[in-house]
Amino acid sequence: MDRNKVEYHRLALFGRMVMGVSHEVDNYLSVVIGFAELIQISGGAEKKTLDGVGKILNAGEKINTIIRHFSQYVRPHASVRERFSPAEALRECLVFARYDLGRNNVALAVPESYPPGLLTGDRRDFGLAILALMFNGSEAMAKNGGTLRMDVSMKDGAWEFVVTDEGPGIPPENEKLIFEEGFTTKDGSPHCGMGLPLARYLAAEMGGTVSVADRPGGGCEAVLRIPAA
C-alpha cells in the first residue's frame, strides 16, 4: 500500500459521510431557525429571548464544530509526525461520523473518559485508521444490528484501541485474507476491501499494529496498538 491509496480511501470514506454530516447540520440548523423565529415573535419577553439566544449560539457552535472537524480530516495531505491527544482526535471523528456509524440498527458504545497521554504520528491518519476499524465493525452488523463498542486503555507503555462488534465473525477460510487489499465479503461496501489493510498500514506508520480475531461470545474484535509518545 502507498500514500495514493491512503488518500483514495480517505476520499471514499469521507464522501460516504457527507450524508451524515448533512443530517447533523440540518438538526442544529432547525434549532437556529426555530428559535430565531421565536425571538422575532416574542422579542418582548426578556428571559425567553435570552434563553432562545443561548440555544441559537450553542447550535451555531455545534454546526461550526462539525464542519471544521470534517473539513480537517477529509483534506488530503502529506503524512506528518506530531504529538497529539488521541482522546481529542477520537471525539473529533465521532462528531461527524456518529450518524453513519449508527445506521442499520447499530448502537454505539464509546468511552465517557480516556486515559491521559499523547501519541506521536499523524493525527488525521490516526482518525482514518480508527474510522476504518469502526466502519468495518458497523458494516458487519448491517444485517441484524447490535452494539459497536470501542474501548481505550494504556497497557505496557502502549495505547490500545479495541473495536468490538456483534456481527457473524470471520469465517475460517477468510482468516488469512482479511488484510489483503481488495478482499471483502460485504456487498455494496464503500471500502472495497480497503478498510483493514489501510488501518494496518497507517498503524505501522506510527510504529503500531492492528490485529483482528473472533470473540469467544460471538462477533469480532479489532485491536489497534500504538506505542505511547
pLDDT at residue 86 is higher than 80: yes
Q: Whats the size of the chain, residue-wise? A: 229
Q: Which three cell numbers stand for residue 226?
A: 500504538
pLDDT of 79 reads 86
Report the C-alpha gap between 77 and 7 in whole angstroms.
8
Print the SS3 string covering the chain: CCHHHHHHHHHHHHHHCHHHHHHHHHHHHHHHHHHHHHHHHCCCCHHHHHHHHHHHHHHHHHHHHHHHHHHHHHCCCCCCCEEECHHHHHHHHHHHHHHHHCCCCEEEECCCCCCCCCEEECHHHHHHHHHHHHHHHHHHCCCCCEEEEEEEEEECCEEEEEEECCCCCCCHHHCCCCCCCCCCCCCCCCCCCCHHHHHHHHHHHCCCEEEEEECCCCCEEEEEEEECC
Q: For residue 175, name the pLDDT band (cuts at 50, 70, 90).
A: low
What are the beta bridge partners of residue 146?
106
Q: Percentage of the chain surpassing pLDDT 90?
A: 43
Q: For residue 43, name the pLDDT band (cuts at 50, 70, 90).
A: low
Per the model's pLDDT, the better-predicted residue between 68 and 145 turns out to be 145
pLDDT of 191 reads 47
- The one-letter amino acid code at 41 reads I
User: How much is the average pLDDT of 131-142?
Assistant: 92
Which domains can be identified in the chain, with CATH numbers?
Answer: 18-71 (1.10.287), 78-227 (3.30.565.10)
Q: For residue 109, name the pLDDT band (cuts at 50, 70, 90).
A: very high
Which residue, among 25, 20, 66, has the nearest Cα to 190 in the 3D structure?
Answer: 20
Q: For residue 193, name the pLDDT band (cuts at 50, 70, 90).
A: low
